């Protein structure tokens, strides 16, 4: 499905979602027991590490993350099925729900209901992972392959393989570089702010996702092609 907004707005929305991924994975890895809530490949590797107790990795956090991610992905798939014919409403709703859940998590962490350690940390991991399962399930239907928003393996592969030293196609390298930069900046900002506040980082990620939702809801539609 084509997203009914001009390309520059579409790209801005996806880059914002990528930055939010960096912010939240900083929270999950640095504060929630060395796990990722958006990058499930990493969690599978961590589960393998946990088989060896001397590594210091535990089964609980990555299992909770995978569970939450799957639940969020199911919700995202259902939303895609129900709202497929209304793309603006679909994307705005999916990312709006994600933003609200992130803000609720930030509030609960801020008032001490959810903590980074102990039993309630698993609730937080599941909720955050569900947010990014929802994001992934939505983005996979609409985003270009180099704007996946949660993993950069294919983005880096394409950047190198399509360069002048590779195939020479150079397919939108600026977009791929932007995606890498967004993840890097999001993770760096998250790591920096975590020294002061966990809830603030989660709330900031919610604000970025909310901005993306507004872009997909209200950005101007692309001009019609005169050749058509």
Q: Where are the alpha helices (DSSP H) in 84-119?
A: 87-110
Residue 3 has pLDDT above 60, yes or no: no
- In this prediction, residue 26 carries a pLDDT of 95
CA angle 192, 119, 28 (to 5 degrees): 25
Residue 63's nearest CA partner among 113, 122, 6 is 122
CA angle 150, 181, 121 (to 5 degrees): 45
- In this prediction, residue 102 carries a pLDDT of 98
- In this prediction, residue 221 carries a pLDDT of 64
Residue 3's nearest CA partner among 64, 89, 65 is 89
Q: What are 73-112's pLDDT values in tens digits?
A: 999 988 888 887 788 888 999 999 999 999 999 999 999 9
Q: How many residues does the chain have?
A: 228
Cα–Cα distance list, 101 to 13, 97, 130, 210 (Å): 18, 6, 9, 11
187 and 29 Cβ atoms separated by less than 8 Å: no
DSSP classification of residue 55: G
Q: What are 148-194's pLDDT values in tens digits?
A: 777 776 677 667 776 655 565 655 677 778 888 999 999 999 999 99
Tell me the three state secondary structure of residue 127.
helix
What's the chain's average pLDDT? 86
């Amino acid at each position: 499905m084509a997203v009914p907004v001009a390309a520059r707005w579409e790209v801005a929305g996806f880059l914002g979602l990528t930055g939010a991924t960096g912010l939240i994975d900083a929270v999950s890895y640095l504060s929630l027991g060395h796990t990722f809530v958006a990058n499930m490949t990493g969690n599978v590797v961590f589960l393998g590490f946990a088989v060896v107790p001397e590594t210091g990795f535990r089964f609980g956090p990555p299992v909770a993350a995978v569970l939450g991610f799957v639940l969020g992905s199911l919700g995202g798939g259902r939303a895609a099925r129900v709202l497929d014919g209304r793309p603006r409403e679909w994307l705005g709703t999916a990312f709006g729900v994600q933003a609200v859940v992130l803000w609720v998590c930030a509030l609960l962490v801020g008032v001490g209901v959810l903590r980074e350690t102990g039993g309630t940390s698993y609730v937080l991991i599941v909720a955050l992972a569900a947010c990014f399962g929802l994001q992934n399930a939505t983005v996979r239907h609409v985003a270009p392959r180099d704007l996946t928003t949660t993993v950069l393996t294919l983005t880096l592969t394409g950047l190198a393989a399509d360069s002048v030293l590779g195939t020479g196609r150079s397919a939108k390298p600026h977009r791929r570089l932007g995606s890498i930069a967004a993840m890097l900046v999001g993770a760096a900002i998250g790591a920096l702010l975590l020294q002061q506040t966990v809830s603030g980082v989660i709330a900031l990620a919610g604000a970025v996702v909310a901005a993306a939702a507004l872009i997909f809801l209200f950005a101007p539609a692309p001009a019609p092609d005169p050749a058509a």
